[in-house]
Amino acid sequence: MTASVLHVGADVATETGPGTGATATTRRSLRAVLLGWTGSVRGGPLFWLSTVVLLLTVVVAVLAPLLAPQDPDALDLGAALAGPSRAHLLGADQSGRDLLSRLIFGTRTSLIGPLGVVVLSTVGGVVIGLVAAWCGGWVDACLSRVVELIFAFPGLLLAIIVVAVVGPGVWAPMLAMAVAYTPYVSRLVRSVVLQEMSRPYVDAYRVQGFSGVLIATRHVLPNALPVVLAQSTVNFGYALMDLAALSYLGLGVQPPMADWGAMISSGQTAILQESYLPSLVPGVAIVVVVVAFNIVGEGLSARIVRRSP
């Protein structure tokens, strides 16, 4: 999945920049519309269930060496494609490696990549959006141009090009995805900051002689952060899907490192031998975690919308 495709929700949810054309109205009205969708889940049991799922996933990632019953890289060709048993609770893959252990260790790589993407894109987006909104004028115009240029690149394509140039691995796709996700954050920050700046308290601080930088970072930014946090939570799920896709294509995390996307790829041939678990298990893991991220992210933004005047 490409970032741009999956970000439609986020894309339309944000204020459109200058010169984005005729769809501005429809896009803006969509924010309310999309958030309305989550009315049934926000704050409800689904929201909390998803939160628990995410926390558990993090715990599993952190405690992987303690939780995994076996060495995820230990080969046992005798057990290749073995079904679930006491020795291998979820069975073994085509090299006889314990599936459960690989799933548990795969949580680490599958979370660290998106975490990097989200942290980098959030920091970058906040800085760019804040600077663009605060400085305005030609700075804003230039930054908006750059952001538009990045929007013209589907995230997955950008990552593929970067991998083509520097080679596969953990870092290249992560950095490329971070670049591709930054515009979504920066656009959001820019619009929220512009909104905040029109409020009287900013002028009040200015009159009292506070410096622009201080007001921006101490007062305006904290008010914008909840929205950004909600967006970044949703981004996390999408980044996870995108990076898993790259690993699946062999352009991301390289074997034998345990990673959900790579596991699906290597388990694919086993499907033809009617051995479904090696690719199905990581597939289900991806879907569950992404669903949880979506529900939590949208639940958060619904809460923010409800709280704001």
Partner 1 sequence: MAASGPALGTRAAVLFVGRRLASLVLTLLATSFLVFGAVHLTPGDPARAMLGPHATPAAIAAIHAQYHLDDPFLVQYAHWLGGLSRGDFGRSIQFRQDVTSVLAPRIAVTGELVAYAAALTMLGVLLGVAAAVRPGVVDTGIVVSTTVATAMPSFVVAILLVAIFGVKLGWLPVVGVGDGPVSRLAHLTMPAVALAVSLVGLLARVTRAGVLDQLGREHVEVARARGVPWLRVVRRHALRNALGPILTVGGTLVAGILVTTSIVETAFGIHGLGELLVKSVAQKDLPVVQALALLTVVVFVVMNLVIDVVAALVDPRVALGVRVA
What is the contact surface with partner 1 in residues (CB under 8 A)?
1-2, 4-6, 8-9, 11-12, 19, 21-27, 29-30, 32-34, 36-37, 40, 148-149, 152-154, 156-157, 160-166, 237, 241, 244-245, 248-251, 261, 264-265, 267-268, 271-272, 274, 276, 279-280, 283, 286-287, 290-291, 294-295
Beta bridge mates, 59: none
Give Cβ neighbours of residue 200 (< 8 Å, ≥ 6 apart).
Answer: none
Helices and strands per DSSP (H, E), number in the chain: 14, 0
Q: 74 vs 164, which CB is nearer to partner 1?
A: 164
Q: How far is the CB of 270 from partner 1 (least distance, A)?
A: 10
Identify whether the C-beta of residue 264 lies closer than 8 Å to the C-beta of residue 250: no
In the block, which residue shows the tokens 């920049």?
A: 17
State the minimum distance, in angstroms, from the CB of residue 182 to partner 1. 15
Closest CB to partner 1 among residues 34, 112: 34
Q: Which is nearer to partner 1, 229 or 288 (CB)?
A: 288
Read off the amino acid at residue 35: L
We find the least distance from the C-beta atom of residue 156 to partner 1, in angstroms, to be 5
Q: For partner 1, which is the closer residue by CB, 120 or 156?
A: 156
CB of 122 to partner 1, least distance (A): 21
Instruction: Report the distance separating Cα 264 and Cα 33, nearest Å.
Output: 35
What's the min distance (Å) between Cβ of 296 and partner 1? 12
CB closer to partner 1, 250 vs 255 = 250
Measured from the CB atom, is 27 or 97 closer to partner 1? 27
Task: Give me the count of residues in the chain.
Answer: 309
Distance CA 180, CA 270 (A): 34
Closest separation between CB of residue 246 and partner 1, Å?
Answer: 9
Q: What is the CA radius of gyration of the chain?
A: 22
- 92: helix, strand or coil: strand
Nearer to partner 1, 28 or 219 (CB): 28
Looking at residue 98, the DSSP 8-state letter turns out to be: B
Sole residue written with tokens 């201080």: 214
Q: Smallest gap, in angstroms, from Cβ of residue 260 to partner 1?
A: 9
CA 175 – CA 252 distance, rounded (Å): 12
The number of CA neighbours under 13 Å toward the Cβ of 130 is 21
Beta strands, E only, the chain = none
Q: Considering beta carbons, is residue 37 or 201 the nearer one to partner 1? A: 37
**Between the CA of residue 70 and those of 96, 144, 296, what are the distances in Å?**
12, 51, 32
Q: Does residue 259 contact residue 110 with C-beta atoms inside 8 Å?
A: yes
Q: CA 129, 135, 136 angle in degrees (round to 5)?
A: 85
Least Å distance between CB 302 and partner 1?
12
